[in-house]
């Protein structure tokens, strides 16, 4: 994911592509979420159950906040891009990394969801949802880049980046609100 983030953000900056930068930032959020999840699992191994449940709640809220932060970034950046009528350039490296991420994120998210359900872990479930979001964002990036080539329209990048916001907000709110996904 570190390579994915670097390629996506670098390509996005060069091509002035919000969807690529958002895709790269999502990868960074996934890495941060994985770190939070590792902390939570370490707490469970070392502490009592009550403390572990508190760590679970905190880890879930952090992951939810990260999803909401990404949604806010995408909305603000897309609005700015559309208001300024600023398009982006085509990016071959961005297309390649997003295309590879689609099946990779699908497989990763399915595995994480399976483990989250078995462990009844909201934190791991939220982390899995971030992988799903990355997969959807990958599809959006690929569609957006291909649409740019076909339609040559300046607004494609801003509009395609907004396609993922509903999902990010929905899952972020559920995680933040503590909806029990695993019962």
Q: Which pLDDT does position 102 carry in this prediction? A: 95
Q: How far apart are CA 126 and CA 119, in angstroms?
A: 13
The answer to whether residues 116 and 128 touch, using CB atoms and an 8 Å cutoff, is yes
pLDDT of 177 over the 80 cut: no
Q: Which pLDDT does position 49 carry in this prediction? A: 64
Sort 151 into a burial class: Cβ within 10 Å, 0-12 / 13-18 / 19+: exposed
The answer to whether residues 141 and 90 touch, using CB atoms and an 8 Å cutoff, is no
CATH class of the domain defined by 2-176 = mainly alpha
pLDDT of 179 over the 60 cut: no
Interval 94-107: pLDDT, tens: 999 999 999 999 99
- pTM here is 0.76
CA dist 18 → 10, 81, 120, 160, 181 (Å) = 11, 8, 35, 9, 31
What is the average pLDDT across 53-64? 77
Interval 8-41: pLDDT, tens: 999 999 998 888 888 888 888 788 878 877 877 7
Percentage of the chain modeled with pLDDT above 90 = 26
């Amino acid at each position: 994911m570190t390579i994915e983030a670097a390629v996506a953000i670098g390509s996005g900056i060069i091509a002035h592509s919000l969807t690529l930068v958002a895709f790269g930032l999502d990868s960074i959020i996934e890495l941060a979420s994985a770190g939070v999840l590792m902390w939570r699992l370490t707490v469970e191994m070392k502490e009592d159950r009550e403390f572990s449940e508190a760590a679970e709640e905190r880890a879930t809220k952090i992951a939810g906040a990260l999803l909401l932060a990404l949604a806010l970034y995408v909305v603000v950046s897309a609005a700015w891009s559309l208001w300024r009528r600023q398009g982006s350039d085509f990016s071959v490296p961005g297309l390649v990394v997003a295309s590879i991420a689609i099946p990779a994120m699908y497989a990763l998210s399915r595995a994480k969801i399976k483990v989250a359900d078995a462990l009844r872990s909201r934190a791991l479930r939220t982390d899995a949802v971030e992988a799903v979001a990355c997969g959807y964002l990958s599809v959006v990036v690929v569609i957006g880049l291909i649409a740019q080539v076909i339609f040559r329209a300046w607004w494609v990048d801003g509009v395609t980046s907004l396609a993922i916001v509903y999902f990010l907000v929905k899952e972020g709110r559920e995680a933040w609100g503590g909806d029990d996904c695993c019962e």
